Amino acid sequence: MARIVLVHGAWGGAWMWEKVVGPLEAAGHTVETLDLPGAGNDRTPLEEINLDLYAERICDVLGESPQQAVLVGHSMGGMAVTQAASRCPGRVASLIYIAAFLPGEGQSLVGLTELPEGKGDHVQKTMVVSGEPPLAELSEEDSIIAFYNLAAADVARWAARTQRPQPAIPMLEGAKLSEGYENIPRSYIHTTRDQANMPALQRRMMKERGVSPVIELETDHTPHLSAPEQLVSAIDQLARQEVPA
């Protein structure tokens, strides 16, 4: 089976994958998670955090085994895995994007949300950015609406309260793509009731970046918490390359 490396999104951490890791391992995969710099239990100084540091952290994890990995990015993690796969393409067997931002050359996460298809994104209209270097924060209520609106109420509250403020710089920096990245197979798990990465924007990114195959889930932005069994099935199928292109 596959070696799978799971990369969380903004405000998240490795904790977001708790309901997914065990079932994927039970399906025969080797599964690894990580905290991006400044997220979860990581205490990297804020002034050091940028998109390249995210990529470096992921490539370091990928380099811990000689086996190529199926690299999975959720939400802002799509920016991070894209940059990592551009940096160390030989360590990546394929990429899976989950409700993720999927940039072309020079595109940033914030730039993608400003496209017409991004209209209505609850994150961009409610987050508060302050400080230098800047940090982005969301209230508990807005986090639940944006990320966890279809999860059980107690799970949604737990997730919103576990979040940490998000360094803003990685969301403002454009992706730098390599030829090696462009040659890596890319698939997508499309969340059709998403209020953080709007479904129309997901469809535009998939079309522009030539992603195939695509699995649709009728879930919110964070199916790891609202529909973990469906997400596990989708990752498993894509990791095994059992979905027709």
> Residue 14's pLDDT is what?
98
CATH number for the domain formed by residue range(s) 3-239: 3.40.50.1820
Q: How many residues does the chain have?
A: 245
Residues 179-197 have pLDDT tens digits of 999 999 999 999 999 999 9
| Confidence category of residue 245, pLDDT binned at 50, 70, 90 | low
The mean pLDDT of 86-109, rounded to a whole number, is 98
Estimate the crossing angle of helix 18-26 against helix 228-239, to 10 degrees: 50
How far, in whole angstroms, is CA 147 from its chain's centroid?
12
Of the chain, the percentage scoring pLDDT greater than 70 comes to: 100
Please name which of 52, 50, 99 lies closest in space to residue 221, comparing C-alpha atoms.
99
| Confidence category of residue 58, pLDDT binned at 50, 70, 90 | very high
* For residue 241, pLDDT beyond 90: no
Q: In 3-state terms, what secondary structure has residue 110? A: helix
Please name which of 1, 62, 8, 7 lies closest in space to residue 30, comparing C-alpha atoms.
1
Residues 207-237 have pLDDT tens digits of 999 999 999 999 999 999 999 999 999 999 9
Please name which of 150, 145, 100 lies closest in space to residue 127, comparing C-alpha atoms.
145
Average pLDDT, the chain: 97
* For residue 242, pLDDT beyond 90: no
The residue to which tokens 């190529």 are assigned: 68
The mean pLDDT of 157-161, rounded to a whole number, is 98
- Domain residue extents for the chain: 3-239
Burial of 142 (0-12, 13-18, 19+ CB in 10 A): middle
The mean pLDDT of 128-146, rounded to a whole number, is 97
Task: Show Cβ contacts of residue 123 under 8 Å, excluding neighbours closer than 6 positions.
Answer: 10, 113, 138, 142, 146, 196
* Residue predicted with more confidence, 172 or 1: 172
**DSSP letter assigned to residue 71:** E
Joined together, the tokens standing for residue 222 give 């964070």
> Residue 223's pLDDT is what?
98
* For residue 243, pLDDT beyond 80: no
Find the helix or strand (DSSP H, E) in which 61 lies. Answer: helix 51-62
What gap in Å lies between CA 236 and CA 25, rounded to an integer? 10
* Long-range CB contacts (within 8 A, 24+) of 21-25: 23/228, 23/229, 23/232, 24/232, 24/235, 24/236
What gap in Å lies between CA 85 and CA 21, rounded to an integer? 22
The mean pLDDT of 115-129, rounded to a whole number, is 97
